[in-house]
């Protein structure tokens, strides 16, 4: 009996909890009209998101989105990206896509102390604001790893955390057909698709992904459109 109690106590001390909800649940608790032309309470929506840019391939992706009259959410990384391609970031903002924070050095926030985690996010916030005039209200933790401490830092900085339901693992393949198949196999209503536009096979896969999603009745939106009329809540983790 003593051993059982000891194990239970150990588990209670090691399991980390944080506030989380799904986009659909957040939407369901909100009132009022959705902002923009899409109401995902009535429409079969999916959010398209890209991590780790901008990069030399991002302009080509923006060309595709512009041709398709679509917007995506870009979770931008600092070192080697934000500090290297400011003109691409201006274009992302000017063309109506959404910008989020993906830290400065892509460090796993749950594996560093609070001051370092705060700096990872703050540096990125400040750099994006300097370029676009606006601070992001969304972030994506590297590897999707978060905990109570990270959530508190995000609350302080005005950042909601966005996880995903679809991953093509495009970092391990250059095959656009495989990336497309992986996305389509996992996509469902109110899902969040994670891609990385800096990888070789990803941008070539995007036109086919868009075409197939439209054929299946999906409307492609940004994360904020998926949540609307709910507003992103700082510190909250949104996971489909």
Q: Which residues are known catalytic residues?
A: 51, 196
If we measure between CA atoms, which residue out of 168, 214, 176 comes closest to residue 193? 168
* Dist CA 172 CA 74 (whole Å): 20
If we measure between CA atoms, which residue out of 126, 193, 115, 116 comes closest to residue 158? 126
* Dist CA 89 CA 48 (whole Å): 17
Q: 76, 100 in Cβ contact below 8 A? A: yes
Q: How would DSSP label each residue in 170-185?
A: TTS---HHHHHHHHHH
């Amino acid at each position: 009996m003593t051993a059982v109690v000891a194990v239970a106590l150990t588990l209670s001390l090691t399991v980390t909890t944080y506030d989380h909800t799904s986009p659909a649940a957040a939407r369901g608790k909100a009132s009022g009209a959705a902002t923009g032309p899409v109401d995902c309470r009535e429409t079969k929506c999916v959010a398209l998101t890209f991590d780790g840019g901008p990069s030399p391939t991002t302009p080509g992706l923006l060309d595709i989105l512009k041709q398709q009259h679509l917007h995506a959410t870009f979770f931008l990384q600092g070192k080697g990206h934000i500090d290297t391609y400011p003109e691409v970031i201006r274009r992302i903002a000017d063309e109506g896509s959404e910008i989020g924070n993906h830290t400065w050095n892509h460090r796993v926030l749950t594996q560093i102390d609070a001051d370092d985690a705060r700096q990872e996010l703050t540096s990125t916030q400040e750099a994006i604001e300097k370029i676009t005039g606006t601070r992001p209200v969304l972030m994506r933790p590297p590897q999707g790893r978060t905990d109570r401490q990270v959530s508190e830092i995000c609350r302080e900085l005005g950042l909601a955390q966005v996880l995903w339901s679809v991953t093509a693992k495009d970092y391990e393949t250059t095959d656009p057909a495989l990336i497309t198949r992986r996305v389509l196999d996992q996509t469902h209503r109110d899902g969040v698709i994670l891609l990385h536009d800096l990888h070789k096979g990803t941008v070539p896969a995007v036109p086919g992904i868009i075409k197939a999603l439209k054929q299946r009745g999906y409307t492609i939106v940004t994360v904020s459109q998926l949540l609307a009329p709910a507003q992103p809540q700082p510190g909250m983790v949104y996971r489909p």
